[in-house]
Amino acid sequence: MDAGMSGGREDGGGGGAAVVRRSEAGEGVVQREEEQEEEGDEDLRDGGVPFFVNRGGLPIDVATWERMWKHVAKIHPDGEKVALRIRGATDLPKIPIPSVPTFQLSALIPERLEAIQRYIREFQYNHTGTQFFEIKKSRPLTGLMDLAKEMTKEALPIKCLEAVILGIYLTNNMPTLERFPISFKTYFSGNYFSHIVLGVNFGGRFGALGISRREDLMYKAPTFRTLSELVFDYEEAYRRCWHTLKKVKLGQYVSHDPHSVEQIEWKHSILDLEKLGREDFRKELERHSRDMRLKISKGIGPPSPTKDRKKDVSSPQRSQSCPHRRNSRTERRPSGEKKTTEPKAMPDLKGYQIRV
């Protein structure tokens, strides 16, 4: 998922519909990749390299475990030797479990974000080619928060999509901080790469939380005056590793209610750089920023109780039960085109049980 490396993809999973197709075969490949992303399976390929997801939960079952090591032997420069060396070692050090950051009420939001980013980095980037936590983007927010809580307990290496879910979980108790997903699709050396970070907005300044194989493709302090400045900073980081940014997907603000049965809106705006041109691309980024701001000011954005906005609680694990809220997702608009807002039905919760 990290676009910065020639053999890996940026952290989320891979299409590349921004390029003009020269053949039906090329169109078919991109269409399949887009379908995988819609289904939450975008990690099936990683910059052209097969990529696996642990769908059996934890502890990892034998079949998934053996498949992981077989894949490591294929993709690692030392091949099977590295797998044999690690699996045969008897003196491997015990890896400490990072402590979930807690804050005093006087701690400033930027300081909290830095602490959360340090915590996310302590998990380390997952280079095994097997994602340990299955992230279904269609799951209700409450289910994804349960998964994030499990991540904090297991402390296994993560990729970018897992880091976004973890970032949401750790910032739920900061109602003055708005969060929204930002996805990138890039092109390098014949392959398409995808990456995702958690955009943040505090006091009118933009930044981001996340994880990547490259230092400049994850955390951004909330110092950018506009959303376009933040996105262009990522674009410049991609240029430094010879990647061409093709498409950016922007979600809406995420609810602060950890018990919400809403789904995260991952792709409210889909911006194709080649179709838009640079100036129109910048305008569409700012239009999306205004849309999010207006939804908050009109009270139709993510539920962030007014009284909670006055005072942050000290720990991300401290939350109170809230009644379920209706899904208020809107249709996404590709390449800057607006679509009329249509209410969507509640997500199918049949068979889903909220764990306390």
pLDDT value for 23: 38
Mean pLDDT along residues 158-183: 97
Please answer whether residues 271 and 243 qualify as being in contact, where contact means their C-beta atoms are separated by less than 8 angstroms: no
Three-state DSSP class for 193? strand
The pLDDT score that the predictor gives to residue 310 is 42
- The confidence band for 163, taking pLDDT boundaries of 50, 70 and 90, is very high
**Amino acid (one-letter) located at 103:** F
How sure is the predictor about 178, in pLDDT bands with cuts at 50, 70 and 90? Answer: very high
Would you say the C-alpha torsion 36, 42, 47, 52 has a positive or negative sign? Answer: negative
More confident residue, 349 or 57: 57
Residue with token string 């097969």: 50
Dist. CA 255–CA 263, nearest whole Å: 9
For residues 344 and 73, the model is more confident at 73
Mean predicted lDDT score pLDDT of the chain:
80
Helix/strand/coil for 192: strand
Dig out the tokens for 70 from the structure: 């077989």
Query: What is the predicted pLDDT for the residue at 329?
Result: 43
- Tell me if 148 sits within 8 A of 119, measured CB to CB: no
Query: Residue 122: how many CB atoms within 10 A of its CB?
Result: 13
pLDDT of residue 63: 95
| Out of 35-44, 100-109, 178-187, least confident range | 35-44
Question: How many CB atoms are located within 10 Å of the residue 12 CB?
Answer: 30
Mean pLDDT score, 313-320: 46
- Assign 3-state DSSP to the chain and report helix, strand, coil percentages, each to 5: 35, 15, 50
Task: State mean pLDDT over 203-220.
Answer: 96
How far apart CA 315 and CA 292 sit, in angstroms, is: 26
Task: List, by residue number, the catalytic residues.
Answer: 160, 195, 212
H or E, element range at 114: helix 109-122
Tokens 């109780």, located at residue:
305
In the chain, % of residues over pLDDT 70: 69
Query: pLDDT confidence of 210, banded at 50, 70, 90?
Result: very high
- How many other CB atoms sit within 10 Å of the CB of residue 161? 26
Q: Is 319 exposed, middle or buried (0-12, 13-18, 19+ CB in 10 A)?
A: middle
Please check the confidence at residue 307 and state whether its pLDDT lies above 70. Answer: no
Residues 6+ apart with CB under 8 A from 31: none
The pTM of this model reads: 0.75
pLDDT of residue 306: 40
Cα–Cα distance measured from residue 224 to residue 122, given in angstroms and rounded to the nearest whole number = 25
181 or 28: whose pLDDT is higher? 181
Give me 28's structure tokens.
Answer: 């078919």
Q: How far apart are the first and last CA of the chain?
A: 32
What is the C-alpha separation between 188 and 190, in angstroms, rounded? 6
- Tokens, residue 175: 């109602």
